[in-house]
Amino acid sequence: MTSIPDFTPLRAMAASVASQVEAAMREDLALALKGCDPLLGEVLEHALFSGGKRIRPLLTVLCSRCCGRDDSDLYLLAAAFEYLHVATLVHDDVIDHAPKRRGKTTVSAQFGLEAAILAGDWLHARSMYLIGKLAGAEGLEIFCEATGSMVNGEFEQLRYIADMNTGEEQYYNVIRQKTGNLIASTCAIGALFAGADAPRKEALATYGHRIGAAFQVVDDLLDFQGQSEQTGKTTGNDFVEGKLTLPILHTYARATDEDKKVLEQLFAGDRSSQEAYQQLYTLIERYQGFATAAQAAREFSLEATEALAPFASTQHSQEEIELLNLLAGYILSRNK
């Protein structure tokens, strides 16, 4: 039996980093919001300090520490990634007309669409300013490429909605753009901030790409197998939206011609029907779509840890490397 890793050191580090990043955000906001309308501050307080895992800031900090730098500016740099992440969530909730996110009222529901869009724009602008200030032109280029890619990935995903001709190549291209590139940028910019050489920057960026892929595949699985109380999302929402996630793609590739037609009919029909969802779930189980997608996530996690090989002989960074390895494992075990 495979033993479950002890994630206690990772949780302790994540809590410590989150506390320091939140302090950096509050200090930055106090400066940046001088002269701004009070409503903006109220909206940002609701958006930024209503909980969250702070995974992207954690990655920035760990990758910088791996390469030998840990100072107060690092937590402000990490805060820039939280600003961007929250901006995307605020705008996603506008697009989805979502009333709740993880059990709490969304910005758009509480303050209105206009305030939500404007606050998201402000956070995006502030994140770019901080990246440019702290990581220079090279850091800003990495950051802007990742954010541009993220938007393009969303457009490509729209193109593939309910299109049964979509294959794994298109799926992986979308998640690379939507998730992988941005997570890789947090790692690469953390390394750049610390003055890392090219091999170490590349290794950490590769790590970020792989855990980003693993994270997204696990998200795909949680959409079917997670508990709404823990995930904060409605089970089966990806199907309702017509997204062809990895368990579905694996199922369609292995299905008989007869079951392929059933899948096509399910996606062409009323996807909000509970009966349709149950039929889809049964087909995925029949063709081991959940199991094979989970295996793909494990392979991405393994590739992430293998990417850290250039740090094997660097004694001062071993604590951070162990935490990055733990994070790759934690992503596989998460339930929300």
- Determine the Cα angle at 213 with ends 85 and 292, to 5°: 140
Which of 158-167, 284-293, 310-319 has the weakest average pLDDT? 310-319
Task: Residue 194: count other Cβ atoms within 10 Å of its Cβ.
Answer: 20
Return the percentage of the chain with pLDDT > 90, whole number: 88
Q: Output the CATH code of domain 8-333.
A: 1.10.600.10
Calculate the average pLDDT of the chain: 94
- Least Cα distance to 195 among 77, 55, 42, 67 occurs for 67
pLDDT for 90 beyond 50: yes
For position 101, what pLDDT does the model report?
A: 84
Write the burial class of residue 202 (CB in 10 Å: 0-12 exposed, 13-18 middle, 19+ buried). middle
Q: Which amino acid is at 124?
A: H
For position 169, what pLDDT does the model report?
A: 96
Domain spans of the chain, in order of start = 8-333
For position 1, what pLDDT does the model report?
A: 47
Identify whether the C-beta of residue 82 lies closer than 8 Å to the C-beta of residue 158.
no
The model's pTM: 0.93
Which of 166-180, 223-237, 289-303 has the weakest average pLDDT? 223-237
**What are 327-336's pLDDT values in tens digits?**
999 999 988 7
Show Cβ contacts of residue 2 under 8 Å, excluding neighbours closer than 6 positions: none
User: What integer is the mean pLDDT of 64-76?
Assistant: 96
Would you state the structure tokens that stand for residue 314, as one six-digit string? 């660097």
pLDDT for 213 beyond 80: yes
Across 69-80, b (16+ Cβ under 10 Å) vs e yields beeebbbbbbbb
Return the percentage of the chain with pLDDT > 70, whole number: 97
- Least Cα distance to 190 among 289, 323, 295 occurs for 323
